[in-house]
Chains A and B, each alone.
Chain A
Amino acid sequence: MQIVDRRLNPKSKSLGNRQRFLRRAKAEIREAVKDAIKSRKVSEIDGGEKVTIRSKNLREPSFGLGRGIGNRDFVLPGNEQYKVGDAIPKPPNGGGGGKGREGSADGEGQDEFSFVLSRDEFLDLFFDDLKLPNLVKVKLKDLKVSKPARAGFSADGSPARLNHVRTMRNSLGRRIALRRPTEAEIKALEDELAAAEGRSPLDEAVVAELARQLEHKRRMRKTIAFIDPLDLRYNRFERVPKPTTQAVMFCLMDASASMTESLKDLAKRFFMLLHLFLTRHYREVHIVFIRHTSTAATVDEETFFRGTETGGTVISSALDEMLRVVKQSYSPADWNIYAAQASDGDNFHDDMPRCMQLLSKEILPVCQYFAYIETAHGERYSDTLETQVWSGYSELEDTASANFAMRRVTSPEDIFPVFRDLFSASGMAAA
């Protein structure tokens, strides 16, 4: 008999099978992920997901006998009361007396199938929709955003990291402790020996003694190294998880009835992506949801995405609200402030100058980044018609700082370009 320990064998032997399986059901899984995104909170995008799919592609048919037809004989255990000739009425759905059929993976005919997508698989599908560049995907999926920081010294490391001061200090201490003769000592002894040899009458005993001492010191110098491997000290670096900073993210959205469910859905992905980005860069990320019609209010996420209100559209009210919250809780000195605004481009004409004023004078100076997306149905802006907000903000984009970006979005893949600058300049490259 032979016992083999297989526990250390490579794990997930069936990974190849799983990839084939996911590819097979890709369309359905993608739908399921879309639904999942709808029901997830912006801050919860980063995790696995249980999905349930129905897929024709996952059927494994085989020739099986029909149910509820024909004549069958069978034997059951546990008879307590029946005698020959007794009749048991069939259940209305025609199931044959207790021969319950459990749904199982290999059972035929069951189409619905649920399983758990891992965090990576989920994010992949989320990113696929957004058409993120690969480098960005990798960075966003990497759980450990870290940078090296000094963390004392270590006894081993690469030559480039040798710390000379420490090494020499150790070397010196050791040389003193082991009484390694210095050049000067030897020189002095040599001189003394030369003097003794030159003296007459020659004192043989003194010369011999001096020669012995010199020989001894020379040997000591040879055996006791100037720098011993023991002395070496290297600078040590540790990967420190994240800059210990905090950020707040403002989500601004038009809540008037013209924002349909699908437009909100687009906006949600936009917010999710920004949040994902921020969580990679800041230890703590707060989200503030502000929605507005002609007045603005800070609300919870549920109300933010679900509720609609009637009323006009005054964007400056939301900007005012944002400034109020910033003043009240998020001092720009302590917080990195990011803002993401989604709207369908409607605004009271009279309000635009005030918006511009607020943005350029008060908001942009305290913001790290301000991203604006204008969500629209495909057909709506095929013409060159420009919305109020778009034409207003365009000026800002031309004149203003690098921390402002805007984009028209009709489908998820349009979202990423809004962040292109953010992801390339400030963030991903440096991270």
Chain B
Amino acid sequence: MTSATTSPADLAGEMRLPRRSAPLKPLFDGAEWDFALINRVYDAMGDIALGEMGLDIYPNQIEVITAEQMLDAYSSIGMPLMYRHWSFGKRFAYDEAAYRKGHRSLAFEIVINSNPCINYIMEENSMTMQALVVAHAAYGHNHFFKNNNQFQQHTQADHIIDYLSFAKTFVADCEDRFGQEAVELTLDAAHALMNQGVSRNMKIRARDPAKREFQREMARRDYEEQTYDVLNRTLPQINRGEPISPASAAQLGSSAAEQRKLGLPEENLLYFLEKNAPKLADWQRELLRIVRSLSQYFYPQRQTKLMNEGCATFVHYEIMNRLYERGQLTDGSMLEFLHSHSSVVFQPSFNDRRYSGMNPYALGFAMMRDIQRICIEPTDEDRAWFPAFAGNNDPFGTLREAWANYRDESFVLQYLSPKVMRDFHLFALRDEAKDPAVRITAIHDEQGYRDVRRRLSRSYDVATQDPDLQITDADLSGSRRLVVTHTVRNGIVLDKGECERTLQHLARLWGYRVRLIEVDGESGRVLKEHEVLPMP
């Protein structure tokens, strides 16, 4: 959670201190904090979050860190452990420069989807901020991680830390054995294809991957050692792909049968390369696998940014307000909290200099508060739009259901109400390449609600943000050429320079010629072709 640089006045109009239902018996007063106090506050919040709101969380582990350690954590994509790579150093240098210059403030907290759930909090925070952060991360994000089906399907919270630790040692080990440069070449290439390293429809097996990897690796080494032969070493290297007899090679070609055998078309480029690239050594395949697993791990986070932050923001708002009502927060703390909260959920207009896209905190929080309102005091409009839950008087149950079963795209499509669209003054635009102007296609009015909602929902679909790339042909017996097809939507082809540099990486992994065809999704016309050879 970072706070936008805004004045609290932006939302102050609608913020009013709630009424207290119990005499003031504050948990803390002032900015100072210690471990025992955080523990007490955590327990008090547990009453509300687990008892009243019915949240279901992984056990928490709260770790106190310094600003410098926070920067460290940034550079390793927020993970407590990470293998070494120069790009993380670049990130660190960049973040550090921005932080030192004061361009950017640090996040108050980082939370990791693991079991137990690891929450980093900063030592500089005041006690009120620590309380906010604990409510936000240790209850809000934690509940979302544990219950959202995207996370349940694609990630294994129990094993991620072990897996990272395996990855780190494995990469370090490879660096020792094969040299930093060689490892870097493979990792660079794998990173370039990271977004194409996700299997969108795969369910992962619930076994301990770190242990499994470790055993696989050990088994492979044992095999190498057992079969090591000084004489064999002098023979020319044979690729261990598939030994193909000339006869079968002739009849195979790149037939449908072979394609089926390779599982083509394949959307997960890294997976395909790991399994089928002819020239890769085993350790290189393992590196691809590591990068692919990380990509898979982060995939749900990309799909649920809005919901995840919305859920956490809603939970912290609810908890802090309930604490206040129970007389456990002082007025001063409450005002400090409201200040931070309102700058976090601030949404600048599109023509504002501060605008940098939809603020997921703002929209997510507004939608969830709205669902709460619809459950408790629906208007006629709400009854018409949301007959399923309007007035059911069970806001937390309704929200838990939404948190568990939706991702950003479907959540917006299902739950965005006319009221929120009006509040945000949402409007839809269409930008056509040949048109010199951008056209307004729908606004927040009776005719436009559904249109605006549908288009906003589309923009949250990760599949529309990433290009649709698939491996469609791989000729393993003949020219060994790999063919990747980009299905172009709306005439948006790939960025040329980036595409060619990335293809170079792809070709390095594949080891032979790679061709990329951009085909228009509707007409099937070939729009562009790129072809690269691996550089020696």
Residues of A within 8 A of B (CB): 1-7, 9, 11-14, 16-24, 50, 58-80, 82-90, 96-100, 102, 104-106, 108-109, 113-116
Known: A63-B469, A66-B494, A66-B496. 18 other contacts (CB 8 A): A9-B69, A11-B69, A20-B89, A60-B191, A61-B501, A61-B502, A65-B495, A68-B433, A70-B490, A74-B429, A77-B347, A77-B426, A78-B347, A87-B437, A89-B437, A97-B438, A104-B94, A114-B97
**B153: A residues at CB distance < 8 A:** none
Q: In this assembly, does B245 line the interface, its C-beta being within 8 Å of a C-beta of chain A?
A: no
25 contacts between A and B (CB under 8 A): A4-B63, A6-B120, A7-B69, A14-B92, A17-B85, A20-B84, A50-B97, A58-B90, A61-B502, A62-B195, A63-B494, A63-B502, A70-B489, A71-B492, A72-B430, A72-B490, A73-B430, A75-B428, A76-B426, A77-B349, A78-B351, A78-B355, A79-B443, A83-B440, A113-B94
Do A75 and B429 form a contact, CB below 8 Å, given A6-B64, A64-B467? yes
Q: In this assembly, does B439 line the interface, its C-beta being within 8 Å of a C-beta of chain A?
A: yes
* Minimum CB–CB distance for B484 against chain A, Å: 9
* Minimum CB–CB distance for B160 against chain A, Å: 18
Provide the bound-state CA to CA distance between A269 and B222, in Å. Answer: 56
Flag the segment in B224-232, B275-283, B318-326, B452-460 that touches A: B452-460
A72–B467 contact, CB under 8 A?
no
Provide the bound-state CA to CA distance between A73 and B441, in Å. Answer: 9
Flag the segment in B11-19, B24-32, B34-42 that touches A: B34-42
**A14: B residues at CB distance < 8 A:** 72, 75-76, 88-89, 92
Q: In this assembly, does B380 line the interface, its C-beta being within 8 Å of a C-beta of chain A?
A: no
B498–A90 contact, CB under 8 A?
no
B439–A86 contact, CB under 8 A?
yes
Q: Which of A2, A82, A113 contacts B60 (CB 8 A)?
A: A2
Secondary structure of the A contact surface, majority rule: loop
* Minimum CB–CB distance for A393 against chain B, Å: 46
Residues of B within 8 A of A (CB): 35, 38-39, 42-43, 59-66, 68-69, 72, 75-76, 84-97, 100, 116, 120, 123, 138, 180, 184, 188, 191-196, 347-352, 355-358, 424-433, 436-444, 447-448, 452, 455-456, 458-459, 465-467, 469, 486, 488-499, 501-502, 505
B180–A20 contact, CB under 8 A?
yes
Provide the bound-state CA to CA distance between A90 and B75, in Å. Answer: 37
B123–A96 contact, CB under 8 A?
no
A7–B443 contact, CB under 8 A?
no
**B491: A residues at CB distance < 8 A:** 69-71
Do A1 and B62 form a contact, CB below 8 Å, given A65-B467, A102-B356, A115-B97? yes
Do A79 and B427 form a contact, CB below 8 Å, given A3-B64, A5-B64, A71-B433? yes
Closest to B452 in A: A75
Do A1 and B427 form a contact, CB below 8 Å, given A14-B92, A64-B494? no
Q: Which of A16, A69, A113, A116 contacts B96 (CB 8 A)?
A: A116
Provide the bound-state CA to CA distance between A259 and B469, in Å. Answer: 60
Interface centre among B90, B191, B195, B356 (most CB of A within 10 A): B90
Provide the bound-state CA to CA distance between A98 and B429, in Å. Answer: 11
A60–B87 contact, CB under 8 A?
yes
**A104: B residues at CB distance < 8 A:** 94
Closest to A106 in B: B91
Q: Which of B43, B428, B467, B490 contacts A63 (CB 8 A)?
A: B467
Q: Which of B65, B437, B442, B494 contacts A65 (CB 8 A)?
A: B494
A79–B444 contact, CB under 8 A?
yes
B90–A21 contact, CB under 8 A?
yes
**A80: B residues at CB distance < 8 A:** 349, 425
Closest to A5 in B: B64
Closest to A17 in B: B89
A105–B89 contact, CB under 8 A?
no
B441–A13 contact, CB under 8 A?
no
**B444: A residues at CB distance < 8 A:** 79
Closest to A61 in B: B501
Q: Which of B62, B93, B429, B447 contacts A2 (CB 8 A)?
A: B62
A59–B349 contact, CB under 8 A?
no
Provide the bound-state CA to CA distance between A108 and B470, in Å. Answer: 21
Do A85 and B195 form a contact, CB below 8 Å, given A20-B184, A24-B86, A72-B431? no
Provide the bound-state CA to CA distance between A1 and B50, in Å. Answer: 14
Which 9 pairs, one residue from A and one from B, show the smallest C-beta to C-beta distance?
Answer: A78-B349, A21-B89, A70-B492, A17-B89, A70-B491, A115-B93, A87-B437, A61-B501, A105-B94
**A90: B residues at CB distance < 8 A:** 431, 436-438
**A66: B residues at CB distance < 8 A:** 492-496
Provide the bound-state CA to CA distance between A363 and B348, in Å. Answer: 71
**A74: B residues at CB distance < 8 A:** 428-429, 431, 455, 459
A22–B425 contact, CB under 8 A?
no
**B436: A residues at CB distance < 8 A:** 89-90
Q: Which of A20, A106, A109 contacts B86 (CB 8 A)?
A: A20
Provide the bound-state CA to CA distance between A27 and B223, in Å. Answer: 42
Closest to A69 in B: B433
**A1: B residues at CB distance < 8 A:** 39, 42-43, 59-62, 138
